[in-house]
């Protein structure tokens, strides 16, 4: 018994020491913000909503793929640039899949970029929504606005999935394991439409432009607002009318009602003159429903590369010259149609232009472009030495950054 008692007395200090060590090691990290701390104030909840908008600017999803899907699949544009530009054979084969509408499959990196971007945005919207609903220390109106923004953006990304794939999973708010994510059912077009419309109805709680300027006094530019939800709702209904012809008249009637309500609203939506629509003076104007901005620098376009991708190539060096207007587009305008001047920038005539073209003069600069008539890379690519006017933005004074409005993307 004596021996046993000595043994216990010997062990107790060790057990006590271990317990103390556990307590010591389990101390919370000093000077670091935990997830619970992060969600303890309204500015943190707002930042989660802000993070959704960054998705539009990430990677190559909308800077390149958005243009290729939107234009190269039509007869309006050619790939542009030179064949060696943009990563060589693999990259060019990928782009040509869109231009020639052949060889596209589920393994396409370009389509995967777009898919991943959409579900990244959806995931961020869900994270923001979960935080907004669980956090009580926030003004009720601010809570409505933040939820409206999150749901509008989620609808926008689901609409991208619907347009490009026709179906896709609807991701719940709760956190799931990888196995649970893999088991999510694929929603069909009808289910996606219903989900998108529900989000947009909630998005109508967002402020109009006047109220938005009160909640975001620095600048509401680049944020969704009431008109954004209305405008996207009208577009979604237009697509749905084509998918569900038996209800088309019902959808068309609602579209007309939405547009009239927007025109009569205090925000005063209406058509802008074509001469300024895609210019600096046309940014965030009466025709603008939802714009993503980017600051303009002398050497690059901050936070958004889209202008560089499609800008004038070589002389002046404003960009890479992708998505070049085709001869088919040039010839589609009727005589006197002033949209032509506002859509196309011409460089010097080359052997591949397909026409005699007078170089454009932009803000006093004569456009030369890629004037290499015997360039075999251009020949194999059919580069016409034309550029999209929508891809032009003026540069600030050398070494300076614009301090006024953002440049729309």
Would you state the pLDDT for residue 24?
46
Architecture in CATH for domain 44-171+185-269: Alpha Horseshoe (1.25)
Taking each helix axis from N to C terminus, what angle separates 88-100 and 109-134, rounded to the nearest 10 degrees? 80
Would you state the pLDDT for residue 79?
80
Q: What percent of the chain has pLDDT over 70?
A: 74
- pLDDT over threshold 90, residue 25: no
Site of tokens 């996606």: 192
Would you state the pLDDT for residue 379?
64
For the chain, what are the domain ranges?
Answer: 44-171+185-269, 306-408
- pLDDT over threshold 80, residue 200: yes
Would you state the pLDDT for residue 232?
97
- pLDDT over threshold 60, residue 187: yes
Would you state the pLDDT for residue 380?
63
Nearest to 145 by CA among 45, 261, 258: 45
**Mean confidence (pLDDT) of the chain:** 79
How many Å apart are CA 47 and CA 55, to the nearest integer?
Answer: 13
How many Å apart are CA 210 and CA 234, to the nearest integer?
Answer: 22
Would you state the pLDDT for residue 71?
78
DSSP of 23-84: HHHTPPPTT---HHHHTTSHHHHHHHHHHHHHGGGSTTIIIIIHHIIIIITTTSEEEES-TT
pLDDT tens, 264-317? 998 888 888 877 877 777 888 888 899 887 665 555 555 566 677 788 888 898
pTM of the model: 0.80
* Dihedral sign, Cα of residue 150, residue 152, residue 157, residue 161: positive
Cβ-Cβ contacts under 8 Å for 183 (sequence gap 6 or more) = none
Would you state the pLDDT for residue 62?
58
How many Å apart are CA 236 and CA 156, to the nearest integer?
Answer: 10
- pLDDT over threshold 60, residue 194: yes
How many Å apart are CA 290 and CA 269, to the nearest integer?
Answer: 12
**Higher-pLDDT residue of 222, 104:** 222
Cα 165 from chain centroid? 17
How many Å apart are CA 380 and CA 271, to the nearest integer?
Answer: 40
**Higher-pLDDT residue of 218, 48:** 48
């Amino acid at each position: 018994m004596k021996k046993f008692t000595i043994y216990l007395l010997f062990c107790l200090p060790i057990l006590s020491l271990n317990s103390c060590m556990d307590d010591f090691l389990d101390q919370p990290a000093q000077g670091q913000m935990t997830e619970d701390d992060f969600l303890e104030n309204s500015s943190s909840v707002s930042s989660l909503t802000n993070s959704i908008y960054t998705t539009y600017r990430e990677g190559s999803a909308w800077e390149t793929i958005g243009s290729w899907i939107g234009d190269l699949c039509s007869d309006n544009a050619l790939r542009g640039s030179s064949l060696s530009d943009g990563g060589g054979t693999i990259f060019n084969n990928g782009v040509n899949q869109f231009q020639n509408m052949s060889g596209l499959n589920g393994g396409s990196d370009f389509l995967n970029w777009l898919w991943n971007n959409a579900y990244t945005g959806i995931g961020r919207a869900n994270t923001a929504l979960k935080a907004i609903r669980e956090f009580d220390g926030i003004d009720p109106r601010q809570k409505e606005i933040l939820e409206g923004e999150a749901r509008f953006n989620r609808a926008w990304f689901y609409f991208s999935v619907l347009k490009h794939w026709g179906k896709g999973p609807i991701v719940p708010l709760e956190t799931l394991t990888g196995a649970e994510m893999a088991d999510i059912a694929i929603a069909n077009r009808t289910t996606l439409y219903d989900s998108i419309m529900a989000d947009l109805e909630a998005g109508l709680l967002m402020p109009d432009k006047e109220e938005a300027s009160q909640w975001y006094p620095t600048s509401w530019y680049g944020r969704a607002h009431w008109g954004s939800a209305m405008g996207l709702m009208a577009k979604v209904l237009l697509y749905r009318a084509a998918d569900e012809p038996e209800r088309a008249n019902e959808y068309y009637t609602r579209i007309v009602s939405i547009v009239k309500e927007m025109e009569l609203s205090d925000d005063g939506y209406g058509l802008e003159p074509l001469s300024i629509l895609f210019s600096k003076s046309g940014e965030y104007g009466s025709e603008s429903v939802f714009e993503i901005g980017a600051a303009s620098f002398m050497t690059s376009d901050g936070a958004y590369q889209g202008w560089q991708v499609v800008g004038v190539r070589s002389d002046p060096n404003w960009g890479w010259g992708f998505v070049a207007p085709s001869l088919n587009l040039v010839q589609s305008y009727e005589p006197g149609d002033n949209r032509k001047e506002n859509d196309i920038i011409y460089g010097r005539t080359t052997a591949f232009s397909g026409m005699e073209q007078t170089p454009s003069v932009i803000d006093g600069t004569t456009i030369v472009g890629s004037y290499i008539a015997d360039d075999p890379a251009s020949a194999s690519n059919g580069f016409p030495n034309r550029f999209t006017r929508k891809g032009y933005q003026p540069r600030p004074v050398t070494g300076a950054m614009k301090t006024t409005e953002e440049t729309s993307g």
